[in-house]
Chains A and B, each alone.
Chain A
Amino acid sequence: MGVIRRSGMFVLQVNPILCDGFGHCAELAPELVHLDEWGYPIISQEPVPMADIGAYESARYAERGCPRQALHVTKMNSPAPVSNVTMNQPRPVSRGRRPL
């Protein structure tokens, strides 16, 4: 599955509208997902360190194995939560190529 990143964190997120409760994710990533009584996934929103390669690989398997494509692995560079985006600053404009 490409290069293994050891720094940063990731979160497995589910789109609850797409999810139809097939339950494949709970079999593919049992350490991250468990199912509620109706068969829908309960996923912890705590960021998991990327260094936990087993968990990351299962998350990728779950993402690819979802029949509704409802799962998404979100990578984060810092342990800050996703919602903490700074709001009022416009994004920096990239000028030419980034230095290598």
Chain B
Amino acid sequence: MIDAYALPRLFAGATNRPLSLEDHERVFAPTGEVASLLEELDASGLVGRGGAGFPTTRKVDLLRHQRGHKFVVVNGMEGEPAAHKDNRLLSTNPHLVLDGAEMLAQMIGASRIAVCVARDNPTVVNHVERAIHERARRNLRGPGIDLHTPPWRYVAGEESALVHWLDDNESLPQYRPGRPHILRIGRGPTLVDNAETCANVGLIGRYGAQSFRSLGTAEHPGSVIVSVTGAVKRPNVLEVNLGTPLANILATAGADPSPQAVLLGGYGGAWLSGDQIHTPYSNEALAAHNLSVGAGIVAVLPRQACGVAEAHRVVRWMAHESARQCGPCAFGLPALADDLLAVVRGGRDGVAAIARLQDRCGVIEGRGACRHPDGVVRFVRSSIEAFAHDIDSHLRGAPCAGARAKQRFLTVPALEHEEDLVWE
């Protein structure tokens, strides 16, 4: 039995194999001992771990008052190439995630649970399939659990795209004119939650809100799973207490002690300058720098790297991953990537490009059906701000050493041909 007041909680009992149902029951306390799940969830102050940081209790409240054949969707798609947290969680403690999903289903009165894992991770798919079979063999009462394997795309993990896939086999985001908007599979209202959020619900439903709040900060309680990548000796997935100084997390992963900048929140996120790495890692402390924890991604950029060249690679890939449904995203993001390339090449074209880049960022922002273009705009703006010095030297025709070195630090998958992209 674990101590729910200490780390590791989500990764408790983790080995290099997924915990079987028997081991899972030995490690964690039995479920169903909490008086009222809804009150505990409300008191816990859990915010979603998928990136947007939306309070889970508000989502549950919204869905609870809907009628119809409801669904709970566990989002284990892991769209970000720099993240590994959902994969790691589902291949160590899959039953904790499924427990949380069952509790959510109980709270909103859902009759089916859909677990979504990208089909590009065959190992994780097997682990989850096995966990679902283990539960089915127990013949426990409860909502039926299905495994779904959409294709891996950056936007396929976006909630409306995921629901679209479950509804109609197309991983394309949907238009949602007014917020809050209830996503539906067929006519059934659907609750979409990240796998890590579900695992946290699984903990809250066992040990209650008080033990959940014993870690983390007042406004952003709990622990979070962080994927540390980039220029680190040990790229790793760590479970940390929210509010830990970022420098400690970086030191654990063996990062460069004085990095140039740290990318937080994934490729739709923003840069934190290297001299501010002592900031506590939680939403309330990072909000002062216009940052957020997001999906728990920390990518370290060392001093010798060229920030502009890295930003160009990321934006080029993000533009390529657009679903090409909305004009501003389909045409605007490649235009941003072209502008960044002009800045990397420098000279007079670059000077024009940097002004154009600012204008285009303003034009594109907020005009897509999903938040994909907004994320890219945020990343571009933050890159312009964080690497102003690099951009200056590029525009003067003296590109930094990092641009000449051809060594790159951020993980970016290879660009596929547009016709080879699988959306269904």
**Interface residues, chain A, with chain B CB atoms under 8 Å away:** 13, 15-21, 36-40, 42, 72, 74, 82-83, 85, 87-88, 90
Contact = CB atoms under 8 A, between A and B. Distances in A.
Contacts, number: 60
Interface string B173-210: 11101111000000000000000000000000000000
B325 interface: yes
A72 B177 contact: yes
Interface residues of B, number: 23
B339 to A, nearest CB: 12
Nearest to B61: A88
A85 B325 CA distance: 28
Given A36-B363, A42-B363, A19 B327 contact: yes
Given A16-B367, A36-B363, A82-B178, A87 B62 contact: yes
B21 interface: no
B58 interface: yes
B167 to A, nearest CB: 15
Contacts of B173: 17
Contacts of A87: 58, 61-62, 180
A97 to B, nearest CB: 24
B412 interface: no
7 contacts: A16-B325, A17-B173, A38-B332, A40-B328, A42-B363, A82-B179, A83-B178
A15 B173 CA distance: 12
Nearest to B180: A87
Contact of A42 (B172, B178, B367): B367
B328 A38 contact: yes
A53 B299 CA distance: 53
Given A13-B177, A83-B178, A83-B180, 6 more contacts: A15-B369, A36-B363, A40-B326, A74-B177, A82-B179, A87-B62
Given A83-B178, A87-B58, A17 B328 contact: no
B369 A16 contact: yes
A17 B367 contact: no
A54 B177 CA distance: 25
A19 B325 CA distance: 9
Contacts of B325: 16-17
B65 interface: yes
Interface string B291-333: 0000000000000000000000000000000000111110110
A16 B61 contact: no
Nearest to A15: B175
B58 A40 contact: no
Interface in B320-365: 325-329, 331-332, 363
The 10 closest A-B pairs by CB, nearest first: A40-B327, A16-B326, A38-B331, A83-B179, A17-B325, A82-B178, A15-B175, A17-B175, A17-B369, A36-B363
Nearest to B174: A17
Contact of A17 (B58, B326, B363): B326
B368 interface: yes
Contacts of A16: 175, 325-329, 367-369
